[in-house]
Homo-oligomer: A and B are copies of this chain.
C-alpha cells in the first residue's frame, strides 16, 4: 500500500481520466458528474487553480468545475458506493460521485458557486455547507431551511464564498445514518491573496467511524461508540497513502472529524501549530505548540510545520484502539493464562468465530496469525498489520507515515519508499558491556 509503484500509477491514471471527463462535461446541462471510484490520491487541480500548488485529498481528489458566466458550477451526486478500506476489505457505503468521502470542492474567496446535488440514494437527503457563511435558505437543513431532496431529484445551491478557509459538506437529513454511511467531503476556499499564509504542501482528510461487523460489508449505523473501523477518508492503514514532503517545505494538513469522539492526531518528529479551524484562521498570538492535535467532532483543524528533519515519521490517532484493525476488540484477555487446555472448550462455545490460543504473552504474536493458517472472517482486516523496513508495524486504522526527503521535486507526491537512515542514527542493540552488538 505504501509501495512506490502503486501510488505513482494511481496518480497518472487519475489525472488523465479527470481531464478527459471534465472536457466531456462541458457539453452536458448539469455538468457530467466526475466520479472517483478508485482510492488513489489524485494530483492537485493545479491547472484549474491557475498554477497554485492546490490541495491534495488523501486517497481522493478534487472536483473539477465549469464556468457558467461568472459562476463556478459543480455537480455532486449522492449515491451508494463501494469503498476499499484497505486491500482485503471493502465497505458498501453511501457517498458522492462514486466515492466516500466525496470529492473535495476547491474554490477561491469571493467566488460565486452553484452546486448541483443529484440524489441517487434510496431515501431523501440534503447538503449542509459546514462552516460557510451563506443565506439561511442555502444552509441545507432538511425541513428547516429547505424541502428534502427526494430520490431522483436534483437541487441547486448558490452563494458567494465570503471568506477563505477549511470547510466540509455533509447531509443534514437522517444524519445518523447518512453520515454514519460515509457521506462527507471537504470544501477548501483558497484566499484571494496568494501571499496569505502560503504553504508548499497542502494535504487533508476527514475522519469517519464505522462498525462493519466481522464478515459483513455494510456499516451498522445504530452503533454509538464501540466502532471497529477508524478511518481517514474512508481508508485504514495500510490502505492510507503516505504524505510525501520535500525537506524544507512548509506543510499544512487539514483534518476534519465526523466521528463520534475526539481524535488526537499525533505527528512524530515535529511540533506544529494549529493555524486554522472551520471557523477561520487562528491568529499567531493564539496558537499553541502541539504534537497531538485533538480534533473535536464537527470541527476542522489545520496543522502547519516546516519539514526540516528527514525521515519516516509516524502520523496517527493517539487513541490506541484507533490504530487497530477490527479484530482487536472484545477478545478475551489471556495474558498470563496457559491456553492449550482452554482452546477446545472455547471453540465449542463460539462456533461462528475462528479461535486460536492467542495473547498468552501479549498480542504481538498475533502478527503470525496468517502464517499459522488462521484466517480472519471474510472481508475483515486483522488487528495489527503493515510491513515496514524493519518488520511488522503492528498498526491498523488511523495510521500513516509522513515521508520527508531532500530529493523530492516540487509538486511530486510519488512514494519515495522507506527512509535510508544515515549511519549511526538508528537505535542499536548492545551487549552486556553496553557496546553495539
A421 touches B136 (CB 8 A): yes
A330, CB-defined interface residue at 8 Å: yes
How far is the CB of A266 from the nearest CB of chain B, in Å? 5
| A262-277 contact mask (Cβ, 8 Å, vs B): 1 or 0 | 1010101111100001
Interface stretch, picked from A19-27, A98-106, A283-291, is: A283-291
B280 touches A144 (CB 8 A): no
C-alpha spacing A280/B269, complex, angstroms: 13
| A123-142 contact mask (Cβ, 8 Å, vs B): 1 or 0 | 11010101101111111111
CB contacts (< 8 Å) of A287 on chain B: these are 286
A30 touches B266 (CB 8 A): no
**Given A141-B393, A333-B218, A389-B144, do A362 and B178 touch, yes or no (CB 8 Å)?**
yes
B430 touches A154 (CB 8 A): yes
- Residue in B closest to A432 when the chains form the complex, CB atoms: B29
A344, CB-defined interface residue at 8 Å: no
B147 touches A297 (CB 8 A): no
Contact size range, A: 35 or more
How far is the CB of A281 from the nearest CB of chain B, in Å? 7
CB contacts (< 8 Å) of A310 on chain B: these are 136
C-alpha spacing A329/B176, complex, angstroms: 10
A336, CB-defined interface residue at 8 Å: yes
C-alpha spacing A149/B422, complex, angstroms: 20
- Residue in B closest to A282 when the chains form the complex, CB atoms: B288
A107, CB-defined interface residue at 8 Å: no
B143 touches A429 (CB 8 A): no
C-alpha spacing A399/B335, complex, angstroms: 29
Select one of B320, B360, B362, B392 contacting A143, CB under 8 A. Answer: B392
Select one of B157, B175, B312, B428 contacting A136, CB under 8 A. Answer: B312
CB contacts (< 8 Å) of A181 on chain B: these are 335
B122 touches A362 (CB 8 A): yes
CB contacts (< 8 Å) of A29 on chain B: these are 432-434
A412, CB-defined interface residue at 8 Å: no
- Residue in B closest to A174 when the chains form the complex, CB atoms: B364
C-alpha spacing A313/B128, complex, angstroms: 12
B430 touches A361 (CB 8 A): no
Select one of B141, B178, B296, B335 contacting A264, CB under 8 A. Answer: B296
A394 touches B143 (CB 8 A): yes
C-alpha spacing A383/B420, complex, angstroms: 53
| A183-224 contact mask (Cβ, 8 Å, vs B): 1 or 0 | 000000000000000000000000000000000001111101
| A246-264 contact mask (Cβ, 8 Å, vs B): 1 or 0 | 0000000000001011101
**Given A137-B426, A280-B271, do A332 and B362 touch, yes or no (CB 8 Å)?**
no
**Given A286-B288, A287-B286, do A175 and B222 touch, yes or no (CB 8 Å)?**
no
| A390-408 contact mask (Cβ, 8 Å, vs B): 1 or 0 | 1111110000010000000
CB contacts (< 8 Å) of A285 on chain B: these are 283, 285-286
CB contacts (< 8 Å) of A371 on chain B: these are none
Interface contacts beyond A30-B433, A222-B332: sample of 15 additional A-B pairs, CB < 8 Å, sorted by A: A123-B363, A139-B314, A141-B268, A142-B391, A145-B427, A146-B426, A148-B391, A155-B427, A156-B434, A175-B395, A179-B320, A220-B332, A281-B289, A286-B288, A291-B299
Binding site for B on A (CB under 8 A): 29-30, 92, 116, 121-124, 126, 128, 130-131, 133-149, 153-157, 172-181, 218-222, 224-226, 258, 260-262, 264, 266, 268-272, 277-283, 285-292, 294, 296-299, 309-314, 317-321, 323-324, 328-333, 335-336, 359-365, 383-384, 386-395, 401, 419, 421-422, 425-434, 436
List 5 A-B residue pairs with CB atoms under 8 Å apart, sorted by A's residue number. A30-B432, A176-B383, A218-B333, A264-B299, A281-B289
